[in-house]
Structure 1
Amino acid sequence: MVSVRVGIVSKTDVPVNPPRRRLRGAERRARIEAAAVVAFAHRGYDATAIGEIAAAAGVTRTVLYDHFPDKRALFLHVLATQHELMLTEIARGITSEGGPRDRVRATLASYLRFTRDHPAARRLLLDPIPSGDAELDEVVRGYLDDRANAISGMVSADLARVGVDLASTSLPVIVAVVSGAADGLAQWWALHPDTPFDEVVDAATRLLWNGLPRAGDP
């Protein structure tokens, strides 16, 4: 109980803990999105409850609904934003300066940094748990196709210069192999995080650039 005394404030009148800072709308939304990425990545769409996301974000369900009308809308939103973030990082490497080999290395480095900094996003996009909703699963597959198409568009000029027939099946096969190798490398590095970053990138670059027969070449 707060005592009322003129000119005197007792120690019991002073809050033990300072009042919590009220979050701005943008901060609340960012927390909701971050919590949703982790929940959907690790539990899947069907097994994740909207209340679980709200609790992880430190907001009420009412506040969450102020930003997203339902779980489906939130799921679709985080898929789209994380997909765009991943493609932006990949594009930063592919379109970097230098020759083709330099860009191969830069692309691997960009992707590894993305998976290191956003492990839940990688899992959500590339190792998704089936949602139990055919339409949502089709959306996820569409993002995987978009990723492959975007990478194809970014590397096609370099591949054409080394003699790859872009109208043949070689282009999608090469993109699939390189993408799968990069993701496998990211998962391996997540299990061996003490391995120096530059050593991981250099070894992978030598393999992708030189091929297996010359993987030991500098």
Structure 2
Amino acid sequence: MSIQSIVLATGNAGKVREFAQLLADYPLEILPQSQFNVAEAVEDGTTFVENAIIKARNAARATGLPAIADDSGIEVDALNGRPGIYSARFAGEGASATDNWQKLLAEMTGQEQRNARFQCVLVYMRHAEDPSPIIAQASWEGRIGDAARGEHGHGYDPIFLVGNSDQSAAELSDAEKNALSHRGKAMNELLAQFKAKGIL
């Protein structure tokens, strides 16, 4: 089977690495959009699905390749679902991951209700005008910890306690995280749809 090239609509090195691991067993070559100098899409949607479609369309249009886009974030019940679609820029435009989770910890000071979940939406578009993109969505339940823990992962992983455990997502190995995470589950759903539609 020939290898299919797909552009990944992100410049996030952590996400690129996760995708490469999740798709390592398939005849797919995942190329980050930064390799093509693709300008970042303006994420002006109001949902994860809208933003993922915007990013996939932008990458497909710029490269002429099929594109996968990921839009993901963390929803905190005590904050009425914030930061949600604004997770990557919760502490402001250009904020670092550390800035973002430090702001979230500060807002959670004194909160007893700490339930939260990561959400991930993956969108695959065959081309920029694809009228029927493949959409996969999954979530990962947990809680916001009191302090950062662990050296692995990226984003909010250091303050996200997995399920009912006291282990943060940043304390998991890559294999453990991929088996449990919102992105891993969404990828399994996307691959199932690929197989059903004859893409793989």
The TM-score bracket by the shorter chain reads: under 0.3
Task: Answer 1 or 2: which has greater helix percent.
Answer: 1
Q: TM (normalized to structure 1)?
A: 0.25
Task: Answer 1 or 2: which has greater strand percent.
Answer: 2
Q: TM (normalized to structure 2)?
A: 0.27
